[in-house]
A and B are shown apart, each in its own frame.
Chain A
């Protein structure tokens, strides 16, 4: 990997520290949102936090190895449970709210949201 002159979104947003700050805020929002909390396991919270970290790292354009197929495999079970656009929208809402709470500048939130949005079809297995 080469180091480009313009910093990546991941670095501009604050790298791993930003991911760590975001995950717990986000997971609290998700667990208390009755529209979507049934899709999130709350018995193994450590494992969930690991997944949320991967999600934020991906949304920030950080180092991750997820392919579209991984996204499909990971969410197929949830799609069977009824996961659809409305739930994806709710997650996007919490993503935005979390980053706003952390005082991330609006244009960076926009970039992160665009990356997350790009996974919609894979997540929903369409």
Chain B
């Protein structure tokens, strides 16, 4: 057995300007618990993911990311119970208060009868990825989550699709009052539903209902601009044609890109030519039946997502390759 000197293996974990010592061979979780930092955990062996933290500075040992999803890994998330730091690291706890930056409305225009396109200019847009979501906050504190529908790296702006919900405090404000030049607060980007430019030959299935198109359109643009070569299928569904949007734009995109296929779906009765009858997830499964090796993105109605997630898995998609973003209606 080799005897290691303790001096050079002792590391420091920095959280919120506070330093915590980490003994040699001690995990981040054990170190923080020993020093009375409140942190959630359960299995202590990398399976439950309860103790996931994000490293904001310093190099993580590869092992410390365990079997986290790829999109979580590239955001430097890691499992405190698996991480024995080899150098000093700075860490963000999951519940730390959010950082907001100021955004300015540059465009607000209707996409269809009840959905508005809101384009916001703000700082640090390069940190945001198409398909992630942010919290938008009004001056009085009213906050809602919306998905990013564009690739901010190109336009230097953030785009959102905001559907008007009857009695929805935030959406009614956006629809009725907001105007170009108004400001609102924009949180840091959140969520792991976005495109990673790897395995470009992989098939990609995008299924969304309503404004679930927002993250999916962002992911699509991102994939195409990275030269994704595998087939990309988008199924966008709603109960009536009037609630779909960007139909012509998507049709054009599929004419311009041989590997992109677009299927607008209508679950209600009246289905005009060029549209498919049925729910987006059902139509998707009938058109693309073998999902083995595919990457799957599901956005929109929570029930659709639950149902489709199981179906996609049973059709061969690996759990790690299924990304979801369920839209829940706020009740406050």
A49 touches B48 (CB 8 A): no
Q: Mark B291-332, 1 if CB is under 8 A from A, else 0.
A: 000000000000000100110011000110000000000000
Write out the residue numbers on chain A whose beta carbons fall within 8 Å of the beta carbon of B48. 50
- Is the CB of B47 closer than 8 A to any CB of chain A? yes
Chain B residues bordering chain A, tally (CB within 8 A): 12
Distance in Å: Cβ of B51 to nearest Cβ of chain A: 14
What's the Cα separation between A32 and B316 when bound, in Å?
13
The contact of B319 among A32, A49, A54, by CB within 8 Å, is: A49
The verdict on A31 contacting B47 (CB below 8 Å), with A24-B318, A24-B319 known, is no
Q: Mark A31-46, 1 if CB is under 8 A from B, else 0.
A: 1100000000011011
Which of B47, B67, B310 is in CB contact (< 8 Å) with A54?
B47
Q: Given the complex of chains A and B, what is the CA–CA distance between A28 and B48 in angstroms?
A: 21
Question: How would you classify the secondary structure of chain A's contact residues: helix, strand, loop or mixed?
Answer: helix
> In the complex, what residues of B have CB within 8 A of residue A27's CB?
313
CB distance from B308 to the nearest CB of A (A): 12
Tell whether A120 is near chain B: CB-to-CB under 8 Å: no
In the complex, what's the smallest C-beta–C-beta distance from A64 to chain B, in angstroms? 9
Structural contact, B319 and A28, CB atoms closer than 8 A? no
C-alpha gap A27/B310 in the complex (Å)? 11
Least CB distance, A59 to chain B, in whole angstroms: 16
Given contacts A31-B314, A42-B310, contact A53 B47 (CB under 8 A): yes
Is A50 in contact with B47, judged by CB distance below 8 angstroms?
Answer: yes
B310–A31 touching, CB < 8 Å:
yes
Chain B nearest CB from A20 CB (Å) reads 8
> In whole angstroms, how far apart are the Cα atoms of A20 and B314 in the complex?
16
Q: How far is the CA of A65 from the CA of B309 in the complex (A)?
A: 31
| Closest residue on chain B to residue A29 by CB atoms | B314
Cα distance A90–B26 when bound, in Å?
42
A45 pairs with B47, CB closer than 8 A: no
Task: State whether A32 touches B314 (Cβ < 8 A).
Answer: yes
Extra inter-chain contacts (15) besides given A24-B318, A28-B314, A54-B47, CB under 8 Å: A20-B67, A24-B313, A27-B313, A28-B313, A31-B310, A31-B313, A31-B314, A32-B314, A45-B313, A45-B319, A46-B319, A49-B319, A50-B47, A53-B47, A65-B45
